[in-house]
Amino acid sequence: MKSLIVGCGRKQVKSFQNRCVAIDIAKEFIKDSRRIRPDNEYVQADANLLPFKENSFNHVTCTEVIEHVKTPKELLKEINRVLIQNGEAILSVPFADKCRYIAQIFPAYKRDFYEGYHPSEFTYESFIELLEESNLRITKIEKTGKTSWYFWKIWGNLSRALNLDLSIEETGKIKLNTKSKIKNSIFKLTSKAIRVIAIPLGYLFPVYTGIKVRTKKVSSS
């Protein structure tokens, strides 16, 4: 079975046990991924112009990528093109209203992770409609992010209340902008504590921040 990761980022290859092909438009992400999984094949490419022949892959994964492109229909058209007939694609996006809320209460999230980075936004209904228009048959729908919602919300309120100078990396990792080892140690302990709090809250009072969908190609058009 031949698999493709569209938009591998820095760490997505960690979750793949078998060898695969991975693409990303960012050269630094390709380098980071290659260090983690040197056995994979890596290609720097635009997701809307996949450099592969038709019917090349049995399986395509494209998670938390579609919101970053201006023409999501073109991206899905390309995924459909490179999939074999009845090939499977796993696709996910965050919900627009949840991203906007966190951006309002968390300045670092808005600056480093949201504003200008999400040219396409989705609701549950609009994403399902997009997939159905793209000749992809939905086989499974899963709502995601029930623990991450509380993590981002707690950090947003805390950073605003304490006026913390934070930044967010492409991977979603939050950093405190300081050279103080003591402050950094306290920050790391605080971050771990917030995760410990966020996980049970997410299971007890789930607030979903996105959607992951398994689909199959049903048409070669």
Residue 192 confidence class, pLDDT cut points 50, 70, 90: very high
d(CA 78, CA 66): 12
Share of the chain above pLDDT 90, in %: 87
Q: Are 45 and 25 spatial neighbours (Cβ–Cβ below 8 Å)?
A: yes
Residue 161 lies in a domain: yes
Residue 145 lies in a domain: yes
Beta strand 21-24 pairing with 3-6? parallel
| pLDDT at res. 221 | 47
Domain total in the chain = 1
CATH classification of the domain holding 110: 3.40.50
Residue 30 lies in a domain: no
Residue 180 lies in a domain: yes
Residue 92: give the domain boundaries.
46-217
Residue 18 lies in a domain: no
| pLDDT at res. 11 | 81
Q: Are 138 and 132 spatial neighbours (Cβ–Cβ below 8 Å)?
A: yes
| pLDDT at res. 220 | 52
Look at residue 137 and tell me whether its pLDDT is greater than 90. yes
Residue 24 lies in a domain: no
Residues 6 or more apart whose Cβ sits within 8 Å of residue 61: 3, 4, 5, 6, 12, 16, 89, 90
Residue 160 lies in a domain: yes
Residue 41 lies in a domain: no
Q: Tell me which amino acid residue 113 is.
A: F
Verdict on whether the full-model pTM lies above 0.75 = yes
| pLDDT at res. 116 | 87
